[in-house]
Amino acid sequence: MLSAFINSFKIPELRQRIFFTLGVIALVRFGAAIPAPGVDASILAHYFEQVNNQTSSSVVALFNIFSGGALEACAVFSLGIMPYISASIIIQLLTAVYPRLAKTAREEGGRAKITQYTRYLTLILCLFQGTLLAHGFANPKSNPFLPGIDATIQQYGPLVANPDFFFYFSCIMTLTAGTMLLMWFGEQITDKGIGQGISVIITIGILARLPAAITQSYHFFSDKFNPVIIAILLLFLFGVIAGIVAVTSAERKIPVQFAKRMVGRKLYGGQTTFMPLKVNYAGVMPIIFAQAILMFPQTFLMIPGLQKLPGFQELMGMLNPGTVLHVLLYGIMIFFFSYFWVSTQFNPTQIADDLKKNSGYIPGVRPGKPTADFLDFTMTRLTLAGAAFLTIIAILPEMVNYNLKVSFLVAQFFGGTSLLICVGVVLDTMRQVETFLLQRHYDGFLKKGRLRSRQS
């Protein structure tokens, strides 16, 4: 594996992509440390010191993890990339249910139009959420997502010294520009760097909170040192990572036979290959979509005046991470988006038609509609297994948080969205790098391991 990393810098194009990605990552982390205008970042930092040490889950703690600590610093990237994720979800849903939009997506140049619509919707969501966040900065005591901030304000002073029109305008524009810049960074990484840009940005934000999680783990276990529990947790952590890698890489190979045919004087076809169908076809997208959906209504409930409605506080408490309703909705959404992603990205009818045009067929299955039905049935069963796995992984942090009483920041790295996204993005990035290596006749990350298994 070490030789593969060294060889990665011997290929000019790959080396350029790696350095470009690292440069963009540095800019992302730099923007996560620049405070928004008019906000005293030290006040919110003191508050988050108490929130991160709490054992109970909270939406603000989870939002801070996904923003890479930018919310804690009142940074220009405080909104994170979630508005873009929410806009992508809305556009994907509209594409599935609105025929005219679906037709546009299938036309030549249609994907570019869909991308443009997503950008416009992202801008609208940024202005809306930026307004709510600016109001939350100006009136932190009335913000239901900042419980207990009164004591911090009394001790260190107001979060916003002068909440006038200029503050609202500058703060909203800065937060909106920050998210739009993050979206552009993600697109640039996808085109000119390594990995899927948006997923890379989310992963970097999660990993940026890893040192704080390690520090909190050290303080927690130093007070209650128990080598048996520590050993069990480490084994549990490595077991979860191994399970994620195994299921993410798992696939069912459908054999495909191509009939022989004469083209001029040459004989083509006759070979046997396979079609790989992944167990976790949707990857990390169902969890990201479900998380964004669960965050969005709680952001909507921050609108001033809604807190006075009957049952508002009870509803807020029921939607907090760790509650029964949150876990139930979370699991249902993961299942829904797993099948939704497969239905929009996997087209068995088109695959069956392509096989028929190229004189290919699945042994034991008639070409045409029977092949499409077979692929649809097989993918449905595989998706069920993948969705069940994603649901189990997603609720693991809440189980660790509830049973061990560790902080929510620490529990996020024992499973769930954070760990699954990190492992999935790392595997996807390694596959892209390995593709470049194999094209230039270098050993990939896992090639030697495959050779040893073949020889044995």
Output the six-digit token pair for 416: 């769930």
pLDDT attached to residue 177? 92
- The band of 279, judged by pLDDT with boundaries at 50, 70 and 90, is confident
- The band of 451, judged by pLDDT with boundaries at 50, 70 and 90, is very low
- The band of 202, judged by pLDDT with boundaries at 50, 70 and 90, is confident
Q: Taking a C-beta distance cutoff of 8 angstroms, is the pair 157, 164 a contact?
A: no
Q: Which residues are CB-contacts of 331 (< 8 A; sequence separation ≥ 6)?
A: 391, 394, 395
How many CA atoms does the CB half-sphere of 198 hold within 13 Å? 16
pLDDT attached to residue 123? 93
CATH of domain 2-455: 1.10.3370.10
Residue 75 DSSP symbol: B
- What CA–CA distances, in Å, run from 165 to 162, 169, 307? 9, 6, 23
The amino acid that residue 375 corresponds to is: L
CA 454, CA 36: separation in Å to the nearest integer?
Answer: 57
pLDDT attached to residue 234? 78
CA 409, CA 285: separation in Å to the nearest integer?
Answer: 22
Higher pLDDT, 444 or 390: 390
- The band of 432, judged by pLDDT with boundaries at 50, 70 and 90, is confident
pLDDT tens per residue across span 83-117 = 888 888 788 878 877 888 878 877 777 788 888 98
pLDDT attached to residue 106? 76
CA 136, CA 142: separation in Å to the nearest integer?
Answer: 8
The amino acid that residue 211 corresponds to is: P
Q: Taking a C-beta distance cutoff of 8 angstroms, is the pair 126, 180 a contact?
A: yes
pLDDT attached to residue 413? 63
pLDDT attached to residue 315? 67
Instruction: Report the Cα–Cα distance between both ends of the chain, in Å, rounded.
Output: 20
The amino acid that residue 13 corresponds to is: E
pLDDT tens per residue across span 23-48 = 999 998 888 888 888 887 777 777 77
Q: Taking a C-beta distance cutoff of 8 angstroms, is the pair 197, 188 a contact?
A: yes
Weakest-pLDDT range from 216-220, 329-333, 430-434 = 216-220
Quick one: which H or E segment has residue 83?
helix 82-97
- The band of 270, judged by pLDDT with boundaries at 50, 70 and 90, is low
What residues are paired with 267 via a beta bridge? 262
Please compute the mean of the pLDDT values over residues 437-445 and round it to a whole number. Answer: 68
- For residue 124, pLDDT beyond 90: yes
Higher pLDDT, 206 or 5: 206
Weakest-pLDDT range from 59-68, 84-93, 324-333, 411-420 = 59-68
Q: Where are the domains of the chain?
A: 2-455
Percent of the chain with pLDDT over 90: 7
Alpha helix stretches (DSSP H) within 164-278: 165-192, 197-207, 210-223, 227-249
52-72 CB burial, b ≥16 within 10 A, e <16: beeeebbbbbbbbbbbbbbbb
pLDDT tens per residue across span 240-262 = 788 888 888 888 888 888 776 66
- The band of 78, judged by pLDDT with boundaries at 50, 70 and 90, is confident
pLDDT attached to residue 287? 78
Q: Taking a C-beta distance cutoff of 8 angstroms, is the pair 159, 43 a contact?
A: yes
Output the six-digit token pair for 229: 């529990």
Output the six-digit token pair for 148: 């207990």
Q: Taking a C-beta distance cutoff of 8 angstroms, is the pair 378, 254 a contact?
A: yes
Percent of the chain with pLDDT over 70: 72
- For residue 143, pLDDT beyond 50: yes
Output the six-digit token pair for 2: 């070490």
Three-class DSSP category at 268? strand
Weakest-pLDDT range from 171-180, 362-371, 408-417 = 408-417
pLDDT attached to residue 419? 76
pLDDT tens per residue across span 59-75 = 566 666 666 666 767 78
pTM: predicted TM-score of the whole model, two decimal places: 0.72
- For residue 367, pLDDT beyond 90: no
Please provide the DSSP assignment of 330-396 as one string: HHHHHHHHHHHHHHHH--HHHHHHHHHHTTEE-TTS-TTHHHHHHHHHHHHHHHHHHHHHHHHHHHH
- The band of 55, judged by pLDDT with boundaries at 50, 70 and 90, is very low
- For residue 20, pLDDT beyond 50: yes
Weakest-pLDDT range from 117-126, 225-234, 279-288 = 225-234
Q: Which residues are CB-contacts of 86 (< 8 A; sequence separation ≥ 6)?
A: 125, 292, 293, 296
Please compute the mean of the pLDDT values over residues 426-449 and round it to a whole number. Answer: 71
- Mean pLDDT (the chain) is 77
Q: Under the phi-then-psi rule, with left for phi > 0, alpha for psi from -120 to 50, and beta for the rest, what region is 274?
A: beta
Weakest-pLDDT range from 209-213, 286-290, 421-425 = 209-213
- What CA–CA distances, in Å, run from 370 to 189, 251, 344, 347, 349? 41, 22, 20, 14, 10
- For residue 301, pLDDT beyond 90: no
pLDDT attached to residue 452? 40
pLDDT attached to residue 12? 82
- The band of 454, judged by pLDDT with boundaries at 50, 70 and 90, is very low
- For residue 173, pLDDT beyond 90: yes
